[in-house]
Structure 1
Amino acid sequence: MSAKYYAPQGGHPGQEQLLTDRAVFTDAYAVIPKGTMRDITTSFLPFWDNTRLWVIARPLSGFAETFSQYIMEVGPGGGSDRPETDPEAEGVLFIVEGTAVLSFNGQTHDLAPGGYAYLPPASGWTLRNTTDGFVRFHWIRKAYDAVDGLDAPDVIIANEQDIAPTLMPGTDGKWGTTRFVDPTDLRHDMHVTIVTFEPGAVIPFLETHVMEHGLYVLEGKAAYRLNTDWVEVEAGDYMWLRAFCPQACYAGGPGRFRYLLYKDVNRHMALRLAGTLAR
Structure 2
Amino acid sequence: MGYINNVTGYRGDILENRSIIRKNNFALIEPDGLVKNVIPGFEDCDITILGSPKLGATFVDYVITINEHGKNQQGWGAAGIESILYLFDGELEVENEDETATITAGGYIYTRPGGVLRFMNSSGNVAHGFMYKRRYQAIQGAEPHSVVGNVNDIDWTAYEGMEDVLVKDLLPSATDMGFDMNIHILSFKPGAYHGYVETHYQEHGAFIYSGEGMYNLDNEWMPVKKGDYIFMASYCLQAGYGVGRSDDFAYIYSKDCNRDVEL
Answer yes or no: same fold by TM over 0.5. Answer: yes
CA contact (8 A) 1:166 1:179 kept: no
Summarize the alignment of residues 67-146 of structure 1 with structure 2, pairs less than 5 Å apart. 67-105=59-97, 107-146=99-138
2:201 aligned to which of 183, 204, 210: 210
How many angstroms does 1:124 deviate by?
3.5
1:123-174 deviations in Å (ceiling 9; x for gaps)? 3431001122222211100011111221x21111111111111112442x10
Query: Residues 223, 104 of structure 1: CA spacing in aligned structure 2 closer, same or farther, 3 A cutoff?
Result: same
For residues 175-186 of structure 1, the aligned pairs below 5 Å read 175-182=165-172, 183-186=174-177
SS in 1 for 2:227: coil
Distance 1:30 1:106, change over 3 A: closer
Q: Which moved more, 1:129-138 or 1:11-20?
A: 11-20
* 2:103 counterpart letter in structure 1: L
Aligned counterpart, 1:266: 258
Identity among equivalent positions (%) equals 25
Which residue matches 1:240? 231
Change (3 A) 1:17 1:108: farther
- Counterparts of 1:154 and 1:52, CA distance in 2: 29
In the TM superposition, residue 106 of structure 1 has moved relative to its aligned partner by 7.4
SS at match of 1:251: strand
Match of 1:32 among 29, 32, 44: 29
The aligned residue for residue 10 of structure 1 is 5
| Number of the residue aligned with 1:47 | 41
SS at structure 2 position matched to 1:35: coil
Please, what is the CA RMSD of the aligned residues? 1.8
Kept in 2, the 8 Å contact 1:66–1:264? The answer is no
- Alpha-carbon distance between aligned partners in 2 of 1:149 and 1:106, rounded to the nearest angstrom: 20
Number of equivalenced pairs: 257
2:99, 2:146 within 8 Å by CA — same for their partners in 1?
no
In the alignment, residue 30 of structure 2 is paired with which amino acid? P
Q: Answer yes or no: is the 8 Å Cα contact 2:42–2:71 preserved in 1.
A: yes
Taking structure 1 as the reference length, the TM-score comes to 0.87
What is the Cα deviation at residue 85 of structure 1?
Answer: 4.4
User: In structure 2, what residue type is equivalent to 1:10?
Assistant: N
Pick closer, same or farther for the CA change 1:123–1:170 going to 2, 3 Å.
Answer: closer
1:275 corresponds to:
none
Structure 2: distance between partners of 1:67 and 1:197: 25
Answer with 220-229 or 98-107: which moved more.
98-107
TM-score calculated relative to the size of structure 2:
0.92
Query: Are positions 1:174 and 2:168 aligned together?
Result: no
Match of 1:56 among 45, 50, 61: 50
Q: Relative to 1, partners in 2 of residues 1:148 and 1:169: Cα closer, same or farther, differing over 3 Å? A: closer
C-alpha distance in 1 between matches for 2:98 and 2:165: 39
Q: 2:220 aligns with which of 204, 221, 229?
A: 229
Question: Could you say which residue in structure 1 is the equivalent of 2:19?
Answer: 23
Task: Tell me how far apart the structure 1 counterparts of residues 195 and 158 of structure 2 sit (CA, whole Å).
Answer: 15
5+ unaligned residues in a row in structure 2: which ranges? Answer: none
Matched-pair contact (CA < 8 Å) for 1:97–1:113: yes
> Which of the two has greater strand per residue?
2
Shift, 1:262, TM fit = 0.8
Is the CA contact (8 Å cut-off) linking 2:61 and 2:131 kept in structure 1?
A: yes
Return 5+ residue gaps in structure 1 as ranges.
1-7, 272-279
Q: Is the 8 Å Cα contact of residues 199 and 236 (structure 2) preserved in structure 1?
A: yes
